[in-house]
Amino acid sequence: MPDHGAVAQATVEALKDWPIVILKLVGTADAAVRVGRHPGRWLRKHIGHSIDAGLCSCGGPRCHLSDCKANRLIGRHAITSKPDAEAWSPLVVRAANTDTGKIKIGQPLRCELVFAGAASISALPDLLKLLQGAPEAPPNEPSIQWNTIQYLSLDEDGEPRWRKARPEAVSSALLALDRITEPAIRSSRLVLTFLSSTPLGRRHETGLPNTDLALIVDRMGRSLGAWMGRTGHRGPRLPIDNLLRCAGACTLVADNTTVVRVTSALLGSSGSQDEEGPEEVPALLGSITFKGQFEGLMPMLRAVSYLGMGPGRQHGLGQVTVR
């Protein structure tokens, strides 16, 4: 077995100086609206349309130019009424606590947006000005007035705090992933809760997802590593082999997950659908409890609790809590 302290420190070094900004938005709609069972996808469509209408300079059917602010914020995508994006968008929508069903006029809409990488974060002042004004809504959708926009930061004592976001300061409002100590994780017992549908399969894999911790940690590490690379992070790589060894020594105590199916169109990845269109992809919801030694896994598990795991995060998939 590897030294857990050394694995944790190597993970911290890999996460260090990766630019991350987390925004919390609270708004109200000017008309009643029906949000489907995937509120993250509805929010991605609404916010993505506002960004395209106000910040895209590509002038064509696709947003793809590297200097386009819309591309820097949400990645390459087709400009359409549907929420389109590639798998490794620099944007994550955290919407597990967003109400579904019919949202009444004046009822608060809440979500969190995560932006990764220097290119994306450099465009945040323009995004804040857009959201604080009157952002254009998609066709046949109500307008949303975003009354509260805050960013998450760490105090000197490491405690996370929400602070009011201002356009002139938001691009420097970085969350130091190498310093986070919350949420608290017990050293010998771990509870993972998938708050939103979380696919674990890779392309061409068949069968149902299982609750083996080594598999889950492998998919966490793969998605974090790919995301770091796509957003230009130049730090050392995650110690994935030793993370898997730490996870492999843990045992399952309780499995309270449910397998649900989501459309592959939510994943946004190349090859996620065949010539006949999207297919149904199995994913997990619910909680799993493990026992073992978790010191070496703590930094990555904490980062995942803020960033999510797997493709489809820009549509609200893969939101995980740990304790």
Is pLDDT above 60 for 275? no
264 contacts: CB under 8 Å, gap ≥ 6: 272, 273, 278, 279, 280, 281
How far apart are alpha carbons 153 and 174 in whole angstroms?
7
Tokens 């939510």 correspond to 266
* Residue 57 tokens, joined: 């300079």
CA atoms within 13 A on the CB side of 268: 26
Instruction: Tell me the pLDDT band of 310, cut-offs 50, 70 and 90.
Output: confident
CA atoms within 13 A on the CB side of 224: 30
Contact 317, 283 (CB under 8 A): yes
With CA atoms as reference, report the closest residue to 314 among 73, 37, 97. 73
Is pLDDT above 70 for 200? yes
Q: In the 3-class helix/strand/coil scheme, how is the chain assigned residue by residue?
A: CCCHHHHHHHHHHHHCCCCEEEEEEEEEECCCEEECCCHHHHHHHHHHHHHHHHHCCCCCCEECCCCCHHHHHHCCEECCCCCCCCCCCCEEEECCCCCCEEECCCCCEEEEEEEECHHHHHCHHHHHHHHHCCCCCCCCCCCEEEEEEEEEEECCCCCEEEEECCCCCHHHCCCCCCCCCCCCCCCCEEEEEEEEEECCCCCCCCCCCCCCHHHHHHHHHHHHHHHHHHCCCCCCCCCHHHHHHHHHCCEEEEEEEEEEEEEHHHCCCCCCEECCEECEEEEEEEEEEEECCCHHHHHHHHHHHHHCCCCCHHHCCCCEEEC
With CA atoms as reference, report the closest residue to 258 among 221, 228, 283. 283
Burial 108-144 (b: 16+ CB within 10 A, else e): ebbbbbbbbbebbbebbbbbbebbeeebbbbeebeeb
Is pLDDT above 60 for 293? yes
Q: What is the pLDDT of residues 5-37, one digit of tens each?
A: 999 999 999 999 999 999 999 999 999 988 888
Q: What is the pLDDT of residues 120-129, one digit of tens each?
A: 999 999 999 9
Contact 272, 278 (CB under 8 A): yes
Q: What is the pLDDT of residues 128-176, one digit of tens each?
A: 999 999 899 999 899 999 999 999 999 888 889 999 999 999 999 999 9
More confident residue, 117 or 106: 117
Q: Name all domains of the chain by residue range, CATH numbers in brackets.
A: 4-17+181-322 (3.30.70.1900), 20-172 (3.30.70)
Is pLDDT above 60 for 272? no
Is pLDDT above 50 for 270? no
Query: According to the model, what pLDDT value does residue 284 have?
Result: 92
Vertex 286: Cα angle to 280 and 289 (nearest 5): 130
Q: What is the pLDDT of residues 223-245, one digit of tens each?
A: 999 899 989 998 899 999 999 99
Contact 289, 211 (CB under 8 A): no
How far apart are alpha carbons 293 and 281 in whole angstroms?
32
Mean pLDDT value of segment 264-285: 70
